[in-house]
Amino acid sequence: MRDLSRLIGLNLIVAIGYFIGGWLGSLLATPPSNVSPIWPAAGVALAALLVRGTALLPGLFLGALVTQFYAFLDSATFDKILESLSIGLFAAIGSCLQAWAAMWAIERWVGKQDPLIDDRKILRFFVLIAASCLLSASIGSASLYAQGIISLSNMPSSWLTWWAGDTIGSAIFTPLLLLFVGKPKNSWLARRRMVLYPLSLVILLVLTAFKFSLHQEHQRISSVFERQVELLHITIERRLHDHVLSNQAMKRLFDSSDQVRQDEFERFAQSILDSDAAVLEWTPRVPADQRSLWETTHSVAIRQRDEFQGMVAASPKAEYFPVTYIVPGRGNERAFGFDISSNPDVAPVISAVIDSGMAMATGSVQLIQDDSGHSGTVIYAPIYRKNMPLATVTERRQAFLGFIASVFRLDKDVDAIFDWLGAKELQILLEIFDKDKLIYSNLPVDYHQNLRFGDFGKSLDIEFVERRWRLHFYPAAEFFHRQQSPMSAWLLLGGFLLCGLTCFGLLLLTGRTARVEELVATRTFDLLRSNEALNQEIAIRRRHEDELRVAATTFESHEAILVTDAAGTILRVNKAFTDITGYSAEEVIGRNPRLLSSGYHDQAFYKQMYQELAEGNQWKGEIWNRRKNGMVFPEMLTVTCVRDEHKRLTHYVAIFSDISAQKAAEQEIRNLAFFDSLTNLPNRRLLLDRLTQEIAASKRRAGFGALFFLDLDHFKNLNDSRGHQVGDELLIQVAQRLKSLIRHEDTAFRL
């Protein structure tokens, strides 16, 4: 049983070690493919099997499965998760087969647990590693191709990168790990300094050079990304500005003319429209008594949408806003005669346009002429009668004639910009938000799950006609394919190839002296073992002494500590307990903690406390206790059960602190936040909170409430003539009298 537990523990250690090695390899990966030119996990796997044999294959498989599943995880859908799991499964099988094949070949042609002293065996060791790594690369690349992750043309480069990463990872990290866990230990331990330090220095230099190169490459790519973002942002901003200019030009035509006929509107609109996706409309205000005349003149009924998104005659109301002129007319026939005020998304905007006299844009709204479900944006500009005063809202409403509307689809505009600039100039993706609503996106569905581009990304704002849009820019996979240089990856690959050769040379150099060192180590083994035992005993004693000192210092902390036996009899308290409760240690030892009870808590409270202690071994919360002088105070209490090796209760340990000051501070903060400091009446903040609650309650009950606003006449005269002290006293007296007059459920506030 003990051996089985040890074996399970070793398998878990191997699994964790493999995962850490895979994680370290992923740190050296470069976007967008995130392929690492070195895979330390392969060295972990081979070292584990060389030391412990096939008994560690379950742990190796578990670690490889978790690592590969994490590397290829796509959580977009459940099917994608299953696909990621299948890829990880095949990659894990390949990793296990590779490690097993390398172990078998090394044990056959090099020797089982050979210390690698002979030059020919060292050379054979590295050759067998390179040959065995063909297995994992072949299985992994084939599984990626079968799942459609890589194409047939990319398979050779993927296979080569995989094989090189596993080979270099095994060639470097297998000897490094054998320096610590290899057998015979004496032989490997003697070579640790001569191999580890020089090899670590070379690895550090390679990583430093790689990081510097990666930093330079990152800066270069960042500047390219910034340029593309700026180009796209400016182009979109100009396109939106063109829509605004078209709207303003049509508005000037109406402002400068007594009447604009339909043919004049169409000619002028065609001359200023700069986009096939843009639409210009004239929407007059039609009072209810002129509805029949409008419908007769234009041979169409004023319509609105019904609940099924069909078109029906507009419901009777005081005024209508039907679309009367529209350019281009082809493809927009459904919009003719549509009452724009019947759209709940548009009605607030046009009301604000009439009252303010300024052009405004709607949010993303469903276009009546578009049956495909796409949304668009509309810019409304008001037209007023000539020579009419427009200084006030009332005057603008009386003089209002209608709207000039510019309709455009943002998705068509942005797609046209991408087509115009071309893939050579732009390899970025875009999301556009109107407040929190997504109104445009060309991101792939699984973009955020599959691609990790570090800090590549930028957000900018666009403001036009009283609206602000937020634009989020991201790099596309094509961006890295076009812009990224392979220099950093080749530098890392060449550097670690140098590390592998360095490791090979160091093993040759140290192997010739290993036999002499092994002999010396054998003769001194007994002495070292006795010294180690003595050192361990001294360390244990020092640790016990340190633990006793720490425990004594901890017990005399600023928090009160109380220790009882299983029956609740107090065994020990600290000085903080005496400072808080007033009881000395002699007064409470041998008694029950019930002597502190305040009487504020019933039996159900204590029953719940002991139930939580029995189930969770700890209870924590606020409780009211009584000091020796009879004063009741709140405390934050933590009670913990102490059990022996048989899970039997032996002691209770209670730790508490006085929170009276905290409670008082909380009450003072509440009074400052919600009550007037002079009159002690609720302030404006509490008024708004109570008023919101009362309105909601009245709506539910279908009832009514009353709200009175009182003002003190000539209060300023009193302040000026009698002084602020008299004014303050008057306010206090008024507040007291108001509170004495109203009912208990009513509230008086001071604004």
Sequence-ordered list of residues with C-beta below 8 angstroms from that of 397, at least 6 positions apart, any chain = 354, 355
DSSP secondary structure letter of residue 35:
B
- For the cut 70, the answer to whether the pLDDT of residue 445 exceeds it is no
* pLDDT the model gives residue 451: 42
Amino acid 452: pLDDT: 43
Would the pLDDT of 449 be above 50? no
- Residues 6+ away with beta carbon under 8 Å from 593: 562, 564, 568, 570, 654
Burial 70-92 (b: 16+ CB within 10 A, else e): ebbebebeeebeebbeebbbbbb
Q: How confident is the model at residue 319 (pLDDT cuts 50, 70, 90)?
A: very high
Give tens-digit pLDDT for 732-747. 788 778 777 777 777 7
Average pLDDT over the chain, rounded to whole? 80
Return the C-alpha torsion angle 429, 434, 439, 443, nearest 10. Answer: 20
Q: For residue 515, what pLDDT is reported?
A: 58
State the helix-helix crossing angle for 192-256 and 155-181, rounded to 10 degrees: 140
Amino acid at 95: S
Question: What is the per-residue DSSP string for 610-651?
Answer: HHHHHHHSEEEEEEEEE-TTS-EEEEEEEEEEEE-TTS-EEE
Mean predicted confidence (pLDDT) in 282-295: 90
Q: What is the pLDDT of residue 383?
A: 92
Residue 384 is predicted with a pLDDT of 92
Task: Determine if the pTM surpasses 0.75.
Answer: no
Please determine, for residue 224, whether its predicted confidence score (pLDDT) is greater than 80: yes
Cβ atoms of 596 and 625 closer than 8 Å:
yes
Closest CA to 619 of 664, 652, 582, 579: 652
> Which residues lie closer than 8 Å to 125 by C-beta, 6 or more apart?
106, 110, 116
- Give the model's confidence band at 100: pLDDT under 50 very low, under 70 low, under 90 confident, else very high: very high
Token output for 690: 């109570």
Q: pLDDT, tens digit, for every residue of 573-589? A: 888 888 888 888 888 88
Residues 74-94 have a mean pLDDT of 75
Give the pLDDT confidence score for residue 403 in this predicted structure. Answer: 92
How high is the pLDDT of residue 33?
47
User: pLDDT-based confidence at 450, cuts 50/70/90?
Assistant: very low
pLDDT bracket for residue 593 (50, 70, 90) = confident
- CB-count exposure of residue 304 (10 Å: 0-12, 13-18, 19+): buried
Which pLDDT value is given to residue 453?
A: 47
Q: Tokens 């890829």, residue?
A: 87
| Burial tier of 334 (Cβ tally within 10 Å: 0-12, 13-18, 19+) | middle
Q: Is the dihedral of CA 446, 449, 450, 455 positive or negative?
A: positive
Torsions phi, psi for 637 (to 5 deg): -115, 135
Per-residue model confidence (pLDDT) at position 104: 92
Q: How many CB atoms lie within 10 A of CB 25?
A: 23
For residues 28 and 74, is the Cβ–Cβ distance under 8 A?
no
Which residue has better confidence, 177 or 27? 177
CA proximity to 469, closest of 278, 243, 221, 223: 243
Question: Is 405:412 a contact under the CB 8 Å cutoff?
Answer: no
Tens-place pLDDT, residues 165-219? 888 888 888 888 888 888 877 777 777 777 777 877 877 777 777 777 777 777 8
Question: Looking at residue 150, what is its pLDDT?
Answer: 66
- Alpha-helical segments (H) within 565-623: 575-581, 585-588, 603-616
**pLDDT at position 550:** 56
Helix (H) or strand (E) holding 529: helix 525-555
Tell me what pLDDT residue 380 has. 92
For 125-135, what is each residue's pLDDT tens digit? 888 888 988 88
Of 445, 431, 444, the residue nearest 478 (C-alpha)? 444
What is the Cα–Cα distance from 14 to 21, expressed in whole angstroms?
10
Neighbours of 120 (CB within 10 A): 8
Strand partners, 372: none
Task: Check if the beta carbon of residue 302 is closer than 8 Å to that of residue 311.
Answer: no
Q: How many CB atoms lie within 10 A of CB 356?
A: 13
**How much is the pLDDT for 516?**
63
Cα–Cα dist 338/311, whole Å = 9
Q: What H or E segment, with its residue span, contains residue 51?
A: helix 40-52
Q: CA distances (Å), 586 to each of 570, 571, 591, 651, in order?
A: 10, 10, 10, 19
Of 103, 68, 109, 67, residue with least CA distance to 178: 103
675-692 burial, b at 16+ Cβ within 10 Å, e below that, comes to bbeebebbbeebbeeeee
User: What's the angle, vertex CA 371, arms to CA 365 and CA 377, rounded to 5?
Assistant: 25
Q: Give the CB-side neighbour count of residue 658, counting CA atoms within 13 A.
A: 16
Q: Closest Cα to residue 382, out of 363, 398, 366?
A: 398
Question: pLDDT value at position 192?
Answer: 75
